[in-house]
Amino acid sequence: MPRVLLILPSATYRAPDFLAAARRLGVDVVVASDHRQALMSERALVIALRDPERAADAIVDHAPFDAIVAVDDQGARAAAHASARLGLRGNPPEAAARARDKAAMRAALDAAGVPQPRYRIDDLHGIGFPCVIKPRSLSGSRGVIRADTPAEAAAAAERIRRIVPGESLLVEEFVGGPEVAVEGLLANGRLRLLAVFDKPDPLEGPFFEETIYVTPSRLPGLEPLEAATAAAARALGLTEGPIHAELRVGAEPKVIEIAGRSIGGLCSRTLRFGLGVSLEELILRHALGMDLDGMQRERTAAGVMMLPIPRSGTLVEVGGVDDARAVPGIAGIEITIPSGHRVEALPEGDRYLGFVFARAERPEQVEAALREAHDRLAIRVE
């Protein structure tokens, strides 16, 4: 029986879906995390995700494994180091490091000539306005702020440094136009395109809260998006496993982000391959060297709405869930923050209230169902 190590950070949404995929495949699972969790067995490991080489030491001490899979950004570097030491499929450690540092990512893309926004490090005025200021290490739009004037730039930098004290900031040219998310899988450096998601809600700032993802994309001519994503992966040195990229679409696509992991949150539940195979199972199959022939994304349109937090405070309730579920096309609703808990809006926040899923024949029907379901929800934050 194959033995797989899953690196599951304590804050991940992804644990149940990856564990379910492992059960479907009949593999022996060992869980590694930064804190002991209820789902961890006595064979599980607690590892230092902030110190990838020390985490890899602990993983190697518990070998052998047939595959090591990090489900989120936080475990990607530890997985790369451990896989390299054990001769398993994985990204080179230096590539994983570049993918986790936005400044290093920008430098690598720049050196390879991959189209991207112009950027500076800690230079609030060198790009001009409007610009986007962001920390080097965070993800999920956390700490990302648009500034249209020097005063706004100074205020944004101060606010971001309260979130990540002592960290240098990336200052980027603001690139307008539609944004898409590209989901792919690398095998020996070759990109297999899995899905392109439209983001129909404009992302213009001052904060960049993502809401609706819909696939397949309604944009014409996706080949340039695929080519830009593949070029970005090569520039970083990523060679194996899932990648998730964000691109702005214009005369030529510009790469906003690329990460050596799959789509975040519970958004992967929009994707099915072959005979009902989940994205998590596809990732595990690739890591184990199993056959992926015939596993194309289903033709049905699908989408997800990440429920935004309207303001910081205490979540009193999310009402109207049953009414929202009754909307034609809605496939499920998951509220992921319990009532009574503190919630933080962007740019400080790092969680969503939950996820709404929809399926239909056409992408526009999916988008309409998600919007109607959201309208039926009554979110109370005090």
Mean pLDDT in residue range 245-257: 96
Q: Which has the closest alpha carbon to 36: 28, 25, 26, 45?
A: 45
Asked whether residue 381 falls in the same domain as residue 317, the answer is yes
3-state secondary structure 124-166: CCCCCCCEEEEECCCCCCCCCEEECCHHHHHHHHHHHHHHCCC
Please list the residues that pair with 108 across neighbouring strands: none
Specify the pLDDT at position 39: 56
Q: Which has the closest alpha carbon to 243: 372, 76, 66, 74?
A: 76
Asked whether residue 8 falls in the same domain as residue 86, the answer is yes
Is residue 137 domain-resident?
yes
Is residue 29 domain-resident?
yes
Helices 223-236 + 102-112 axis angle, to 10? 110
Listed range (153-157, 190-194, 220-224, 302-306) with the worst mean pLDDT: 220-224
CATH number of domain containing 161: 3.30.1490.20
Specify the pLDDT at position 144: 97
Tokens of 195: 């899905």
Dump pLDDT digits (tens) for 32-73: 998 876 555 556 889 999 999 999 999 999 999 999 999 999
Residue 345 has pLDDT above 60, yes or no: yes
Averaged pLDDT score across all residues of the chain? 95
Burial 297-330 (b: 16+ CB within 10 A, else e): beeebbbbbbbbbeeeeebeebebbeebeebebb
pLDDT interval class at 199 (50, 70, 90): very high
Is residue 50 domain-resident?
yes
Asked whether residue 368 falls in the same domain as residue 326, the answer is yes
Tell me how far apart the alpha carbons of residues 216 and 196 are, in angstroms, rounded to a whole number.
6
Asked whether residue 58 falls in the same domain as residue 122, the answer is no
How many H-runs (helices) and E-runs (strands) does the chain carry? 10, 21
Asked whether residue 74 falls in the same domain as residue 124, the answer is no
- For CA atoms 265, 47, 107, 164, the dihedral sign is positive
pLDDT interval class at 176 (50, 70, 90): very high
Specify the pLDDT at position 44: 83
Specify the pLDDT at position 295: 87
Is residue 231 domain-resident?
no
Tell me how far apart the alpha carbons of residues 307 and 318 are, in angstroms, rounded to a whole number.
10
Mean pLDDT in residue range 362-376: 98
In one-letter notation, the amino acid at residue 355 is: F
Asked whether residue 8 falls in the same domain as residue 43, the answer is yes
184, 243 contact by CB (below 8 A) = yes
Residue 40 domain boundaries? 3-91
Mean pLDDT in residue range 156-183: 96
Last residue of a domain, one of 131, 151, 173: 173
Is residue 71 domain-resident?
yes
Is residue 363 domain-resident?
yes
Could you tell me if residue 181 is left (phi over 0), alpha (psi between -120 and 50 degrees) or otherwise beta?
beta
DSSP 8-state secondary structure symbol assigned to residue 267: G
Specify the pLDDT at position 139: 87
Mean pLDDT in residue range 240-256: 96
Specify the pLDDT at position 61: 95
Mean pLDDT in residue range 24-33: 94
Tokens of 316: 């009193």
Is residue 359 domain-resident?
yes
Asked whether residue 324 falls in the same domain as residue 382, the answer is yes
Listed range (180-184, 233-237, 297-301) with the worst mean pLDDT: 297-301
Q: For the chain, how many structural domains are there in total?
A: 3
Residue 274 has pLDDT above 90, yes or no: no
Mean pLDDT in residue range 181-185: 98
Other CB atoms within a 10 A radius of the CB of residue 127 amount to 20
CATH number of domain containing 351: 3.30.470.20
Specify the pLDDT at position 37: 63
Asked whether residue 77 falls in the same domain as residue 8, the answer is yes
- Percent of all residues in the chain with a pLDDT value above 90, rounded to a whole number: 91
Tell me how far apart the alpha carbons of residues 237 and 231 are, in angstroms, rounded to a whole number.
10
User: What is the value of pTM for the model shown?
Assistant: 0.95
Last residue of a domain, one of 129, 148, 173: 173
